[in-house]
Amino acid sequence: KQLKTADELYLATDADREGEAISWHILQVLKPKKSIPVKRLRLGQITKSALEKAIAEPEELDTLLVEAQEARRLVDRLYGFPVSSLLWRKIAQGLSAGRVQTVAIRLLVDREKERLVFISAVFWDLDAVFRTGAGDTFETKLLDIGGKAIAQSKDFGDNGKLKKESADRKILTSDEAHSLRDRFSSSSFKVSSLEEKPYTRKPPVPFITSGLQQEASNRLGYSPSRTMRAANALFQKGFITYVRTDNYVLAAEALQAIEDLISSRFGASEHAPRNFGTLSEKAGGEHEPIRPADFVDPQDVAGKVGDDEGRLYELIWKRTVATQMKPATGRTVIVEVEEEHDDGARYQARGTVIDDPGFLRVDPAGTKETILPPVA
């Protein structure tokens, strides 16, 4: 009814293939008069500024995107539907297969086959914590005793026995490990070797959907479904951009907002511009990466959302800001600590000594490397 008296028709479904197809189908149902202009609005975030910009710069419906969605739907029907029905008949009701699921299941099956033939091995190793003259501590692993290398997990094959190239390594028993522990607790040690190489770690890329799910699992312990529930809630409340994307390109206004934030919090010298092309180069008008909509401070957001949403927002905020900061630099270090004993043991630590944190200033947990204190 409202369309009959409207001056224009705006279609504001999702800015991807599925959204384009939905807009096209809405148009087929509404059948507006030719005198009513039809405009396509593409929103990557639900904020006042994004809506105003979309209305000021409307686009046309993209029939190529509509056809792309149609092609994807046909592929699902040609391959996904028949295989799913076969699974129902041969295995169990309710199972499904498709372009993505089938490949993922293959990976799981291959890993399960490896697990079934794997034979476990029993061995012991020893870790030790040493303290530097400055009072910092670092963890090490036992390498050898009296020149005899100690077997580690990587030395065993799937048959539970030492690999051919590791056959001369010593397998520690429980009694030996406990006896050595008692001996080492009263032994004297010294740094016998120190190797250093320059280290540079670039900032991470912005979050796409799969990247967010992986990082939320690693850092927060969230399942993919838990992550997406929290992300959708943040999107609907206007705190982050659209949550389904495989595009790494940040919009110009986002880059400017990040630069301003870095300059005010960490100093202009910490800003290092970095992007992955321009949005216009991406086929299909895909969404931006998942990022804060207005870069509200995580502490301010935490009081307005649930715990899951607050922690996920902080993860997104830190990642997005980190992408535009300097690399972390320092030294990759291999340090060996030797027991002062006739049949002395040798421990080793591998890690990184950070001289300039760079992007780690905003996200100290944003590296998987073992961080070591200065040893020498």
Which three-class secondary structure state does DSSP give residue 165? helix
**242 catalytically annotated:** yes
Structure tokens given for 226: 């838990």
Look up residue 228 and give its amino acid.
M
| Catalytic residue (choose from 79, 199, 222, 242) | 242
* CA–CA distance, 76 with 68 (Å, rounded to integer): 13
Total number of residues shown for the chain: 376
Handedness of CA 18, 21, 26, 32 (dihedral sign): positive
CB 195 within 8 A of CB 334: yes
- Report the DSSP beta bridge partners of residue 150: 170
CB 22 within 8 A of CB 14: yes
Extended beta strands in the chain, E state: 9-11, 38-40, 127-131, 137-145, 148-149, 189-201, 328-339, 345-356
CB 26 within 8 A of CB 13: yes
CB 264 within 8 A of CB 308: no
Which three-class secondary structure state does DSSP give residue 327? coil
Rg (CA), the chain: 28
Active-site residues, by number, are 242
